[in-house]
Structure formats: C-alpha cells, structure tokens
Structure 1
Amino acid sequence: MNRPARLVAAALTASMALLMTACGSGGEDSSSDTIKGAEAGDGKTSAGPSASASPGGVKRPEITLPKEFQAIFEGWSNSDPKLQEILDDGREELRSKYAAVIEADPESDAVAFYNSEATRATARKWIKQFTDDNDSIIGKVRVFDPQAHLSDTGSGVLFYCVDERQASTKNRKTNKIVNTPDKPESLIQYRLRLDKTPQGVWKTTSLTTVPGACS
C-alpha cells in the first residue's frame, strides 16, 4: 500500500526484477518460464499458523496472521507431490512477508527462511517502507489461480494472482486507514522462480509482479 495504496504502487527495482506490490522480492525475471500442465485444486486455505514440520523433516518457521488481516488462498493444491511442495513454500513465502509488515520486523527470520539472499534484501527494503511510516496492513487479500511447474533446469516456477482490493494500510499512531483502489491494477500476478535447497526448502530466488494481469 502506498500513498494512497502502497500494496499496489510501491515500486522497488532489484537487479532484473520490478516489484510493485505487497511483499518485496527481487532477482532475475522469472517471467520467461511458462506454466505447462499445472493442476490446481478447488480447496481454500485460510491464513492460520503454518506448520512447523515439513516433508523431509525440515523445521519451518510458524507464521501467524492476526484476525485483522486475512490471506485467503484458493486452489492451492496439486496432485503432484513435487509441485505441491513448490505451492506450499511459495505460499509461506508470501505469508511471511505479510506477517513481517504486521509485526514491524524487516529482519524477519521467516522471510529469510523462504528467500534467497537477493530476494531477501528487496523484501527487507519493502517491509521497511511500512515500518518507517509506522503503517501496518488490515483487511483481506485473495490469492488465487496458482500455477506451478518444474523447469528443464530443475527450478520451480510459480505464478499466482493476488486481489488486494479489500486490503488497507493502518497507521499505528494515528489509526488512519488508507484503502487500496478498486481498480484492475489492484489484481496482480506474481511470477516466482524457486530453487530447492539441500534441506528440501523451495526458496524464492526471483520474483516479478504484473499489476492488472489477473482478472
């Protein structure tokens, strides 16, 4: 959310990535990868605490969002276990940044857990925009149409859409609320590349966003 809607218009450039929306990440442009054969289910996942355990026994950070802010994930299931891993870690990467803004914590361990060094630096810069202005986020975002696949190089590619039109910033001191405009640009497509660590975590290594690309 920016002035007036930084979730839509806060722009950060990092390397080849242009970030214009909530959850700053940057790195190489992953948009050259296309989604092929992605299967998304119809289930909905709300933003409760994340699981601390994970496939392979890697302990993941618990991420909790307050009642004042909801991230509703629609269709984040896949019949392929490998693609489901990409969906799961991609979802938690997004949730970790929402939580970091709300907790006013640019150095969030959860954000570091799910991001490479390059994307973590950009995420930290984005979160700090909120903390410097004493802003938090409230309301609801809808995260939908996830598409995941494995590239020929073994990297994960994840595209998804975020509808931010029901989200707002709220100043911690003045309680002033600034709403996100009800415009097509408030529906954003996220394009991620993820690489699997030896520990089995799909870390985001690049992220680009395209405002207005989702309907």
Structure 2
Amino acid sequence: MVNRRTLPAATLAAAAVLSLAACGGGGGKPGADDKIAGAGGGGASSAAPDPSASPGAERPAVELPKDMKNVFEGGGNGDPVVEAVLRDSEGRINSLDEAIHTRSLERPAFGFYQTGEAARGAAVWVQGFYDDDITWTGTVRYYDRKVTVEGKKKDEATLSYCSDESKAYNKDLKSGKTSDAVDDTGDSLVFYSTRLAKNDKGVWQTTDVYSKRGTSQCQ
C-alpha cells in the first residue's frame, strides 16, 4: 500500500499518460475542458513582474497545516532563472496540498502555478482525495532537483526531481486513522519530469507532468 496517491502523468513529449493510482469513484470530477481557477493566466489578481528580475515578486499565500510538510532540497545554483523555476515549482507542489487540505480547487495558488494538462491532471488527482474522504499527514522530501532552461528567450524549462513519501501517510477524515508504512521503501519513491513555461506575468507555470513510482532513478 503506497503512502500517497501518485500524481497522474500528463503528456510530456512522447511519454505515455499514466492512470491515476487508486482513484476513488463517484461523480463531480473536473473534466478535461472544465475551467480551473486562475489556470493559464497566473491569476489576474496576483499579477507579478518577472521573478528572475524581482525575487520579491508577490505570489499567492499558501497555507498548510502543521502536520503536512514539504521539504525541498538542492537544485539551486545561484542563477536567478533556475532559482525562479525552483521557487514556482515549489509553489505548485504546495498549492496542490493546500487544495487537498482545504477541500477546495478554488484557492488562488492552484491555478497560478500550473496550466494546461498539468492543471487538469492535478485537478483530477486532488478530486480523488475528496472522493475517498482522505487527506495526508507527515513529511514529503523533494530532492535531486535538476533544471534545464530552454528557448531563445529562456522562457521554457524542464525540471526533474524525486520525492520520498516514506514519512507521509493517507489520513481518513472521518476516523482520523492513518495508513500503515509501506513494506517496500522503493514504493515510497517517485520520479517526476515536468515542463514549465514563463507566462507574460513572469510566473513559471508547470504545463506538463510525468511521474513514475518505485523507480530506480530515485534510489
């Protein structure tokens, strides 16, 4: 039994789409064409200048409970563009967990940091937590983060990273009970490969996500 659901993969270049792991049934899931708050525009009320030129650019506040913690390690090299990519990727990850915690896809950060296939896949993933009446508790560690900046204008990037979910557990909202630790620690490791594009407000939005659980790339 894995600790947390695996984020479904959106199309990434020629990569195949992965199915949602252990998705709960029921209606009310966002469809492919459903509008996601703020997606595609970085949030009209949260417009910000280029983050590579203005490290203090305003971003939506993200609030997580004390028992839900993400730890981000490494990846920064002092390059302002790389640092901006990492920062907005962290914002996206935290925004997904905020949506899980608050039981709302309407939080400003959710659509601010992602668009397109990434936003639609994330909405389905979060909805699965709602359908199963669960959240998660513990700590997830993100590591081995690697950024490659692309494009003539340096407005595109790829970011790969690993996550260790061995200290994170599903939590039933009705009973308060948490899932057991996994027997195979490899099942707690997930490899991610993502694509990002800088929008006209200077926000590095994630556009595509590919993920694979239990991969040797994260050992």
Q: Give TM-score, length-normalised by structure 2.
A: 0.74
| Alpha-carbon distance in structure 2 between the residues aligned to 1:103 and 1:178 | 20
Report the counterpart of residue 62 of structure 1 in structure 2: 61
Structure 1 residue 79, shift from structure 2 partner:
1.3
Structure 1 residue 152, shift from structure 2 partner:
4.3
Report the counterpart of residue 91 of structure 1 in structure 2: 90
- Is 1:158 aligned to 2:164, yes or no? no
Report the counterpart of residue 133 of structure 2 in structure 1: 134
- Is 1:201 aligned to 2:203, yes or no? yes
- Is 1:7 aligned to 2:4, yes or no? yes
User: Once superposed, what is the RMSD of the aligned Cα atoms?
Assistant: 2.5
Runs of 4 or more consecutive aligned structure 1 residues displaced over 4 Å after TM superposition: 13-16
1:65-116 Cα shifts (integer Å, max 9, x gaps): 2111111111242211111111111111111111111111133321111111
8 Å Cα contact 1:141-1:164 kept in structure 2? yes
| Alpha-carbon distance in structure 1 between the residues aligned to 2:209 and 2:141 | 19
Letter in 2 for 1:146: R
Q: Give TM-score, length-normalised by structure 1.
A: 0.75
Letter in 2 for 1:121: R
| Alpha-carbon distance in structure 2 between the residues aligned to 1:179 and 1:188 | 18
Larger % of strand: which? 1
Report the counterpart of residue 36 of structure 1 in structure 2: none
CA separation of 1:64 and 1:134: change in aligned 2, threshold 3 A: same
8 Å Cα contact 1:147-1:160 kept in structure 2? yes
Structure 1 residue runs without a partner (length 5+): 22-51
8 Å Cα contact 1:150-1:157 kept in structure 2? yes
8 Å Cα contact 1:166-1:179 kept in structure 2? no
1:172-204 Cα shifts (integer Å, max 9, x gaps): 111121135242131111111000001100000
Letter in 2 for 1:198: D
Report the counterpart of residue 44 of structure 2 in structure 1: none
Aligned length: 182
Structure 2 residue runs without a partner (length 5+): 22-46
Identity over aligned pairs, percent: 30
Report the counterpart of residue 105 of structure 1 in structure 2: 104
Which of 210, 214, 218 is 1:214 aligned to? 218
| Alpha-carbon distance in structure 2 between the residues aligned to 1:20 and 1:184 | 19
